[in-house]
Amino acid sequence: VHSHVDVYDFKSNKWVEKFDTPKEMANSHLGIATDGRYIYIISGQKGTQCRGPTASAFVLDTKTKKWSSLPPLPFPR
């Protein structure tokens, strides 16, 4: 369990950046998607013992390197 996101650059075949995650973000079992610029983190479980699902959602703008909260899911997953 880590408190950051590593970014892989397919063109250079290297891990190039690391972004710290918000403390409210789940630590495991996350849903992750990207459109190239934004990385979306949806739901997941908090803590090292997977203490239950969350409804939280976040987006990372890789250009500005800023996290934003998204509206929560209707139910934890």
Report pTM. 0.77
Tens of pLDDT, residues 4-55: 878 888 999 999 888 888 887 777 788 889 998 999 988 887 766 767 788 8
Domain contains 75? no
Q: Is residue 47 included in any domain, yes or no?
A: yes
- Residue at 42 is within a domain: yes
Indicate the pairing of strand 4-9 with strand 14-20: antiparallel
The answer as to whether 77 is a domain residue is: no
Give the pLDDT confidence score for residue 25 in this predicted structure.
78
Q: Where are the beta strands (DSSP E) in the chain?
A: 4-9, 14-20, 31-34, 38-42, 57-61, 66-70
**Phi, psi dihedral angles at 67 (to 5 degrees):** -90, 145
Residue 47's CB: how many other CB atoms inside 10 A? 11
Domain that holds residue 11: 4-70
Look at the chain and report how many structural domains it folds into: 1
Does a structural domain hold residue 41? yes
pLDDT > 70? residue 1: no
Q: Which tokens go with 58?
A: 């976040």
